[in-house]
């Protein structure tokens, strides 16, 4: 069995491009060109150079000594938190802006929930001098004021989505409407391994730099390219896809995906998509998503804005269904505790998304000789208010 994408754009039974006919030319143009463009030497060298000089790659693979001692196993942290803009998302937005330029697009649109992807998109638009329009639910604009300010400072126009629940899915609808109306000059930057084919594959390939680096960095540290476990939190699934990418077909390497259980998997307030999800179509791809018995999408909940998504990318739906990856759900409380523990033991304040991944060490026991690589997807600066309120700091 293969765990990567097939020619038709499917991971097992998941994926595809379930889009309105009016969007077909846009998506088809991208599908026909993305692999060709990415293979051009000129593209590769510009992408690599920006990752090095602008993003600050390679991100370190750090042996967390005190954390390892506490859990009696070997824990390495892949430090995506040290990237410019504070998370892994920039790897993807750099890649997509280079594709957009080569396809002759000079207008960029995106949708954002918590604002992290909006900021990463506004950043690369400023870098390239391209027009940037970010759709964001009116409610999210109120909740995420600092990120809205960042986007504006970076020169983006933030347009509120006023329909429906005025959150992420409504912003997505607005972005799709915009793209239908501007098929020639506009590229739509999607922020995770979600959306119609070729987006999940394209985003996974841009994030694959993470596992490419893990391989040679682990060789330097441990004399082997292969960890025993790779652990990552999953919202849409892009930091996990990047951390897994070069290990997907090597079943000696165990993959662990950590989802947000919110107040508890069975509480009705969670974002544990694969466990609770049923097959359905969201954002143009067939995947697992949280829905009511008559197929309406359920509002997810997590203390972490980046994991608060009702679906999961098709790669992860397949990893779940096939059993290739182990899925673990972590509650708000478990994540917050693990986040604070990393601060105290290693002097690193993690994003609350990443804190979910860190929390598995309380739940699962590893052998002393196991090499566990954990994707530290982002830094905690953006979450300071949440930490302050939670711990009464
Ligand atoms: C957005 C975000 C996530 C979740 O997105 P994925 O596509 O699942 O990686 C995780 N961590 C951080 C820090 C984020 O900003």
CA of 28 to the centre of ligand 1 (A): 27
How distant, in Å, are the alpha carbons of 25, 68, 162, 203 from that of 368? 53, 9, 53, 34
Residue 155 sits in a domain whose CATH number is: 3.40.50.1100
- What does the pLDDT read at residue 164? 86
- Cα separation of the two ends of the chain: 50
Catalytic sites, residue numbers: 89, 111, 377
180 and 110 together in one domain = yes
Judge contact between 91 and 207, C-beta under 8 A.
yes
CB of 239 closer than 6 angstroms to any ligand 1 atom:
yes
Mean pLDDT in consecutive groups of 10 residues from the start of the chain, 393 residues: 95 97 96 98 98 98 98 98 98 98 97 95 98 96 93 98 89 94 96 97 98 98 98 97 98 98 95 94 95 89 89 97 98 98 98 98 98 98 94 96
Do the domain assignments include residue 41? yes
User: What does the DSSP assignment read for 68-93?
Assistant: HHHHTSEEEEEEGGGSGGGBTHHHHH
CB of 195 closer than 6 angstroms to any ligand 1 atom:
no
- What does the pLDDT read at residue 337? 98
Q: Would you say the pTM of this structure is higher than 0.95?
A: yes
Tell which residue, 91, 69, 83, 186, has the closest CA to residue 135. Answer: 186
CB of 115 closer than 6 angstroms to any ligand 1 atom:
no
220 and 333 together in one domain = yes
Containing structural domain, residue 184: 18-50+89-203
229 and 334 together in one domain = yes
Q: Which of 186, 203, 220 is the last residue of a domain?
A: 203
- What does the pLDDT read at residue 254? 98
Integer Cα distance of 190 and 167 in angstroms: 16
Sheet with 285-289, strands from edge to edge, namely 10-11, 14-15, 285-289, 278-282
160 and 280 together in one domain = no
195 and 265 together in one domain = no
For ligand 1, mutation pick of 81, 307, 310 (most atoms within 8 Å of CB): 307
CB of 234 closer than 6 angstroms to any ligand 1 atom:
yes
CA of 21 to the centre of ligand 1 (A): 30
CB of 379 closer than 6 angstroms to any ligand 1 atom:
no
Q: Which two tokens stand for residue 188?
A: 């739509």
For ligand 1, mutation pick of 190, 235, 374 (most atoms within 8 Å of CB): 235
SS3 state of residue 117: helix
148 and 236 together in one domain = no
CB of 236 closer than 6 angstroms to any ligand 1 atom:
yes
User: What value, to the nearest 5°, has the Cα angle with vertex 392 and ends 390 and 393?
Assistant: 110
Tell which residue, 246, 248, 229, has the closest CA to residue 369. Answer: 229
- What does the pLDDT read at residue 167? 86
Do the domain assignments include residue 6? no
CA of 55 to the centre of ligand 1 (A): 17
């Amino acid at each position: 069995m293969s765990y990567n994408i097939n020619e038709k754009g499917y991971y097992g039974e998941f994926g595809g491009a379930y889009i309105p006919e009016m969007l077909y030319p846009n998506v088809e143009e991208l599908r026909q060109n993305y692999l060709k463009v990415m293979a051009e030497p000129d593209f590769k060298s510009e992408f690599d150079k920006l990752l090095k000089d602008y993003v600050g790659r390679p991100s370190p693979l750090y042996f967390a000594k005190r954390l390892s001692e506490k859990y009696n196993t070997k824990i390495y942290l892949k430090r995506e938190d040290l990237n410019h803009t504070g998370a892994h998302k920039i790897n993807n937005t750099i890649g997509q802006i280079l594709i957009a330029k080569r396809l002759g697009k000079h207008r960029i649109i995106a949708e954002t929930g918590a604002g992290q992807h909006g900021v990463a998109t506004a950043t690369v638009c400023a870098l390239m001098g391209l027009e940037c329009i970010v759709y964001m639910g009116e409610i999210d604009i109120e909740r995420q004021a600092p990120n809205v300010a960042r986007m504006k400072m970076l020169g983006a126009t933030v347009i509120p989505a006023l329909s429906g629940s005025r959150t992420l899915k409504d912003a997505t609808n607005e972005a799709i409407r915009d793209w239908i109306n501007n098929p020639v000059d506009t590229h739509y930057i999607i922020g995770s391994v979600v959306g119609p084919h070729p987006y999940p594959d394209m985003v996974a390939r841009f994030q694959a730099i993470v596992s490419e680096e893990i391989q040679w960095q682990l060789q330097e540290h441990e004399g082997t390219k292969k960890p025993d476990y790779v652990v990552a939190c999953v919202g849409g699934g892009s930091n996990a896809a990047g951390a897994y990418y070069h290990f997907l077909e090597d079943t000696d390497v165990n993959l662990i995906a950590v989802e947000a259980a919110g107040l508890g998997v069975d509480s009705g307030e969670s974002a544990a998509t694969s466990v609770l999800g049923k097959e359905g179509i969201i954002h143009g791809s067939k995947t697992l998503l949280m829905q009511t018995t008559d197929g309406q999408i359920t509002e997810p909940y997590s203390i972490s804005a980046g994991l608060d998504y009702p679906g999961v990318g098709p790669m992860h739906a397949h990893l779940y269904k096939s059993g290739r990856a182990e899925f673990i759900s972590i509650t708000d409380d478990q994540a917050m505790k693990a986040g604070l523990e990393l601060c105290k033991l290693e002097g690193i304040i993690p994003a609350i998304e990443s804190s979910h991944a860190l929390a598995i060490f309380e739940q699962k026991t590893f052998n002393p000789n196991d090499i566990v690589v954990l994707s530290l997807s982002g830094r905690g600066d953006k979450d300071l208010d949440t930490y302050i309120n939670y711990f009464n700091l």
